[in-house]
Structures are given as structure tokens and as C-alpha cells.
Amino acid sequence: MKVQAANYFRFVRLRLRGYKIFGSINDFKFNRGRTLIVGDNGVGKTTIIEALESLGPSMRGALPLRTANSQGVSSVAVITDGDCELIRRYRSLIFINPEFYRYIDVHRQGPVINNMVPYSARGEVVSKTRKFFKRIVSFKAGKFYMHRDLDPVTMAAGEKICFGFAFVFAVREALKLDVPVVLDSPYAMLDECLRKGLREFLKSQPCQQILLGHEREFKEEEKPKYILVYVEDYSHVMEY
């Protein structure tokens, strides 16, 4: 019998029925590894993230789409595996905002570290952040050596984003978290070299990954699993 890790959590499936921009019933089944969801702006990527983050909120008071179904019922259902409480405790390490770097100061032990990382693990977080950041910026010659002090003030915008990702994954590893990451447009603000570095870094991470973005962002990735399509006044999902 397999023993489940204490810090384990996975998304298994999401069903949206006549909710917000999604008409009828739309099912998303998530791989244990990587799941790519692509679509233009306004077709529902943010709705998917919000539904996962709230674990299927009560839809009382929600207005159904007129095209949704004959009963006019709106609903969100999220099926998971593992400890759902981890979402509340580590929300910012699961739903990663590319501008998370704004709240990080690895040396002054700012509020982000104080709220999530025990004092005994903070040295490990700084060390792993440095290692991961070096890997992500490895395709831009000399960049890591310019930023060995890990001070985002001296970094360009794209480098700050990569620094934020390095920190998040350092904390996850230090805390031994086996939880997903949900990334909305992770490559949108990166140049080609940083995009390549982050892409290779993410592929090396063993956690469940749900990536959402425009098709242009994922042209170097594997084939997307879902493509969001806007038809008339609602969106639906096409599975590939």
C-alpha cells in the first residue's frame, strides 16, 4: 500500500457548467505531470485559475449564461487528491504570480519568508534560490554573476521575474512540498534567452504543473492538452 506524503496535493479534474464565460459543460482533466491550456485573451484562462484556487466555490447568486443549459444552472466542481488544506497554507507557492518577486527580500528576511519558512530553513532557501536562479538565467551569459547578491533592485524586469520563480521553487523544496504549480502566462514578459532558461527549469521540476497562456508563449513546448475557443457569446474547451 502506497503511503501518501504529508505535504501532498494534486488537482485531478475541473468541471465548469454554465459559469461565467463558459457555456454548457466544460471538463478539464489534469495530468500528474504537465498540462498546457492555451487561448487568446478573454476566453476564460483566469476563470479556470480562480475556480481551482477557490476549490469550487458555492455558486449561489451567480448568473448563468443564457446558452448554458435548459435549467440555467451554474456550477463549479473541483476534484482533488491529497490535502486540500495546503492550498490555504501555501497559496502563493501554488498559484504563482510572475510579479511575486516584488514581495521578496531573501537577505532581510521580509514578510514573505517569515510567514512561510521556519527560521531553521532560511539559509537553505537562500542557497537554493541562488542555485535555481543561476540555472534559469544560464542562457544569458554573465547574468548570474552580475546578480550573485540576489538583489532584485539591480535586475532588469525579466530577470526579476525569474528570480521570483527561483525563490518560489526554493521554498517549495526546502519545505518538501509535493503540490502543484499553476502558472498564468509565465513566459509573456521574458526575452528569448530567459524564456528558454525558465522553460528548461520548469521541465526539470517533478511537481504537477498547469500552465495557461497564449499559443505564442508555448510554441517551443509540447502540444497543448486544451485549447480554449470563443464561439458566439461563450467559450468552450477543445481537448487534444
Residue % of the chain over a pLDDT of 90: 45
Residue 113 lies in a domain: yes
Mean pLDDT computed over 82-100: 87
Residue % of the chain over a pLDDT of 70: 85
Residues 41 and 67 in one domain: yes
Query: Residue 92: is its pLDDT beyond 70?
Result: yes
Residue 55 lies in a domain: yes
Q: Which pTM value belongs to this model?
A: 0.86
Residues 116 and 225 in one domain: no
pLDDT of residue 113: 57
If one counts the domains in the chain, the total is 2
pLDDT of residue 68: 39
pLDDT band at 108 (very low <50, low <70, confident <90, very high): low
Residue 3 lies in a domain: no
Residues 165 and 225 in one domain: no
pLDDT of residue 4: 56
Residues 160 and 183 in one domain: no
Residue with cell 486544451: 226
Residues 34 and 84 in one domain: yes
Mean pLDDT computed over 93-119: 70
> Is 59 or 217 the better-scoring residue by pLDDT?
217
pLDDT of residue 3: 42
pLDDT of residue 61: 35
Domain span at residue 69 reads: 9-90+179-190+205-240
Mean pLDDT computed over 112-130: 80
> Is 190 or 66 the better-scoring residue by pLDDT?
190
pLDDT of residue 21: 86
Q: Which distant-in-sequence residues (6+ apart) come within 8 Å of 110 by Cβ?
A: 103, 104
